[in-house]
Amino acid sequence: MKARAFAYVRPRTLKEAHAAFDAAQGDASFISGGQSLVPALAMRLQAPQLLVDLAGLDQLRGVRLEGETLRIGALTRHAETLTEPLIRRHAPLLAAAAPFVAHPAIRNRGTLGGSVALADPASEFPAMMLAMGAQMEISGPEGLRRVPADEYFQDLYQTAIAPGEILIALHVPAAGSSHCWAFDELARRRGDYAMVGGGMMAERAGDGLRGVRIALFSVGPTPVRARRAEAVLEGRAPDAAAIAEAQRALDGDIDPMDDAEIPASLRRHLARVLLGRLLAKLEAPQ
């Protein structure tokens, strides 16, 4: 199939982008890397009369350290997370997750903002926003606002972004020398969406962990914080006893559904395996 005919604009300012969207009276889509939107247009799952290309907006570009926070522009491409030194140093979970996201051709075009705006529950980067405790900067009718990841993911493909609003940047608490992290996922083939995946961040405090944040994906309609497992691990060394206890606690954190391919019981089992692997491979800065 081919996409329905549409008009296309590439505004230079946020004001122009919002005005173009509003003029289409809701029958418009923003486009960033196009790696999810273009297939949806081609299959006519979406058929807006106007595409508003965000590529000309400078506010959505660049990666910079602002005090204790790393500001990552929404147009930063998946592939840049592997090469950008500030991301590798201060948001290492993104660099760890990137090789698992799709394939190189898609990573060269897909953007972090597009992935986090779409909020596919099987996607790596949205869940890593939750694991890192990031804030999403959104441009709307009232101007700019920031929404913490814990409030951002609302339901299946539903986020705090209202129609016509634009995700500008991701603000990530900058990881430092005391932090450790891990990412992993279980998929049938490399590049496939994961059956279960997750990432975690924590600080080392003596032999123990503190500020533990664990986020899983492909276990429900949104990325999920594993708060019970986090509580078990807080202040403890990730030894065999703590890992086993956290794996048991994880059962209360997730509520996966049966689907045609994977029964909920298997996803629960895979989530426990995954948590064990994350804790066994916690990495620290080199």
- List interacting residues with ligand FAD (CB under 6 A): 29-37, 39, 54, 74, 101-102, 106, 110-111, 113-115, 117-118, 120, 123-125, 161, 166-167, 193
Tell me if 20 sits within 8 A of 50, measured CB to CB. yes
Nearer to ligand FAD, 80 or 124 (CB): 124
* Minimum distance, C-beta of residue 31 to ligand FAD, in the bound complex (Å): 4
* Minimum distance, C-beta of residue 252 to ligand FAD, in the bound complex (Å): 26
Nearer to ligand FAD, 223 or 238 (CB): 223
Describe the crossing of helices 240-250 and 264-280 by its angle, rounded to 10 degrees: 150
Nearer to ligand FAD, 139 or 247 (CB): 139
Q: Could you tell me how far CA 55 lies from the centroid of its own chain?
A: 20
| Beta bridge mates, 72 | 63, 170
Nearer to ligand FAD, 79 or 245 (CB): 79
Best CA proximity match to 211, nearest among 219, 200, 220, 222: 200
* Pairwise CA distance, residues 260 & 4, whole Å: 31
Strands 179-186 and 143-148 come out as: unpaired
* Minimum distance, C-beta of residue 35 to ligand FAD, in the bound complex (Å): 3
* Minimum distance, C-beta of residue 49 to ligand FAD, in the bound complex (Å): 14
* Minimum distance, C-beta of residue 173 to ligand FAD, in the bound complex (Å): 21
Nearer to ligand FAD, 146 or 204 (CB): 146
Strands 135-140 and 69-73 come out as: unpaired
Nearer to ligand FAD, 57 or 174 (CB): 57
Tell me if 181 sits within 8 A of 93, measured CB to CB. yes
* Minimum distance, C-beta of residue 281 to ligand FAD, in the bound complex (Å): 20
Q: What is the CA radius of gyration of the chain?
A: 19
Backbone angles phi, psi at 201, to 5 degrees: -130, 150
